[in-house]
């Protein structure tokens, strides 16, 4: 064996050993076993949970129920990374939809850090509403803080499990937003920090029970079905085939009607012309 081949084999073996060592070191921190999101679809959010809004005013979650579907997000306002990405993703989605914040839906962001203050909430509100850029949305994206009792009741209701990492001095938590019906029931979960505008729009239309959205949205809901495992809407093949078949029958019926009327008109013209010649 030449010295060059021998050296190459040593390098290869060293690389494999290093990779194996790294693989053994890549173990999920134990604290992550406490982090999860359990989907509690159709569960009712308690309306009497007390919080403070961005101006320090005492409010109850039920104050935001009753009229429009709601986009709900759980973050904490001094989060160094993930929470900002969740809010940024929520903002991008809102800006990418033709549905309007305030006009068609409300947004409620709740801090799960009991030490967060209304001043921090107001600073976040001002940043995100400023970037949303629609004056009519003022007063429709609510940033709330509260006591541990209310936080625990809300996070339990939506299945949001998180844990405080004392060594890192920050919370370990998942990333998601939820859509609530106007009366405060959980309709949909959307995971991650990128929320497709189409999916969130369909979720809001569905949660509103058809009170918002267009005929196109309602048609899309027939062809798309929410998948709770992925938090996304997928194409329902059978519904698409049924819709296509129905459209084909409709178009064929219209074509036959047009042809019948054309032939009838042509026969009438011929009959009229023959009658004129007989005279």
Residues 241 and 213 in one domain: no
What CATH code is carried by the domain that includes residue 94? 3.40.30.10
Q: Would the pLDDT of 214 be above 70?
A: no
Q: How many domains does the chain have?
A: 2
Would you state the pLDDT for residue 250? 40
Residues 263 and 214 in one domain: no
Is this structure's pTM higher than 0.75? no
Residues 203 and 264 in one domain: no
Would you state the pLDDT for residue 123? 97
Would you state the pLDDT for residue 165? 92
Inside any domain, residue 72: yes
Inside any domain, residue 11: no
Residues 254 and 202 in one domain: no
Q: Would the pLDDT of 159 be above 60?
A: yes
Inside any domain, residue 160: yes
Inside any domain, residue 5: no
- Cβ-in-10-Å burial (0-12, 13-18, 19+) of 247 comes to exposed
Residue with structure tokens 């060592």?
A: 21
Would you state the pLDDT for residue 209? 82
pLDDT band at 186 (very low <50, low <70, confident <90, very high): very high
Kindly list the distances between the CA atom of residue 162 and the CA atoms of 33, 37, 88, 155, 228, in Å, as whole numbers in the listed order: 9, 9, 20, 9, 20
Last residue of a domain, one of 235, 251, 267: 235
pLDDT band at 246 (very low <50, low <70, confident <90, very high): very low
Inside any domain, residue 109: yes
Phi–psi pair at 60, nearest 5 degrees: -120, 150
Residues 229 and 242 in one domain: no
Helix then strand then coil, in percent of the chain rounded to 5, is 50, 20, 30
Inside any domain, residue 222: yes
Inside any domain, residue 95: yes
Residues 243 and 107 in one domain: no
Would you state the pLDDT for residue 33? 86
Domain that holds residue 149: 32-235
- Overall average pLDDT of the 146-175 stretch: 95
Q: Would the pLDDT of 13 be above 50?
A: no
160 or 10, which is more confident: 160
Q: What percent of the chain has pLDDT over 70?
A: 67
Would you state the pLDDT for residue 232? 72
Residues 180 and 46 in one domain: yes
Instruction: Provide Rg for the chain, Cα atoms.
Output: 29
Residues 185 and 258 in one domain: no
Residues 96 and 170 in one domain: yes
Residues 198 and 275 in one domain: no
177 CB-near residues (< 8 Å, 6+ apart): 71, 72, 73, 86, 89, 90, 189, 190, 195, 200
pLDDT band at 223 (very low <50, low <70, confident <90, very high): low
- SS3 call for 134: coil
Would you state the pLDDT for residue 103? 95
Q: What is the pLDDT of residues 56-79, one digit of tens each?
A: 999 999 999 998 999 999 999 999
Inside any domain, residue 80: yes
Q: Would the pLDDT of 14 be above 50?
A: no
Residues 160 and 263 in one domain: no
- SS3 call for 272: helix
Would you state the pLDDT for residue 210? 63
Residues 55 and 125 in one domain: yes
Q: What is the pLDDT of residues 199-212, one digit of tens each?
A: 999 999 989 886 65
pLDDT band at 275 (very low <50, low <70, confident <90, very high): low
Beta strand 141-144 pairing with 106-111? parallel
Closest CA to 126 of 151, 146, 109, 150: 109
């Amino acid at each position: 064996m030449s010295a060059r081949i021998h050296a190459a084999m040593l390098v290869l073996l060293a690389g494999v050993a290093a990779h194996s060592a790294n693989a053994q070191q890549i173990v999920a921190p134990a604290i992550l076993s406490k982090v999860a999101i359990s989907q509690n679809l159709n569960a009712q959010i308690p309306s009497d949970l007390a919080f403070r809004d961005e101006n320090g005013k005492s409010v109850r979650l039920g104050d935001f129920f009753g009229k429009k579907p709601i986009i709900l997000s759980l973050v904490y306002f001094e989060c160094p990374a993930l929470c900002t990405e969740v809010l940024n993703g929520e903002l991008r989605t809102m800006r990418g939809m033709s549905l309007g914040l305030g006009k068609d839906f409300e947004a409620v962001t709740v801090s799960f850090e009991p030490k967060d203050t209304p001043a921090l909430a107001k600073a976040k509100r001002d940043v995100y509403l400023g970037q949303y850029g629609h004056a009519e949305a003022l007063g429709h994206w609510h940033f709330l803080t509260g006591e541990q009792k209310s936080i625990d009741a809300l996070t339990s209701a939506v299945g949001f499990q998180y844990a405080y990492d004392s060594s890192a001095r920050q919370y370990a938590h998942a990333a998601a937003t939820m859509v609530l019906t106007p009366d405060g029931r959980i309709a949909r979960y959307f995971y991650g920090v990128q929320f497709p505008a189409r999916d969130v729009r369909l979720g809001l239309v569905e949660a509103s029970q058809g009170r918002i959205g267009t005929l196109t949205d309602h048609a899309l809901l027939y062809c798309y079905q929410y998948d709770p495992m992925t938090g996304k809407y997928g194409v329902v093949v059978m519904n698409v085939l049924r819709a296509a078949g129905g459209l084909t029958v409709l178009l064929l019926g219209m074509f036959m009607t047009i042809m019948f009327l054309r032939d009838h008109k042509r026969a009438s013209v011929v009959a009229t012309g023959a009658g004129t010649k007989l005279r």
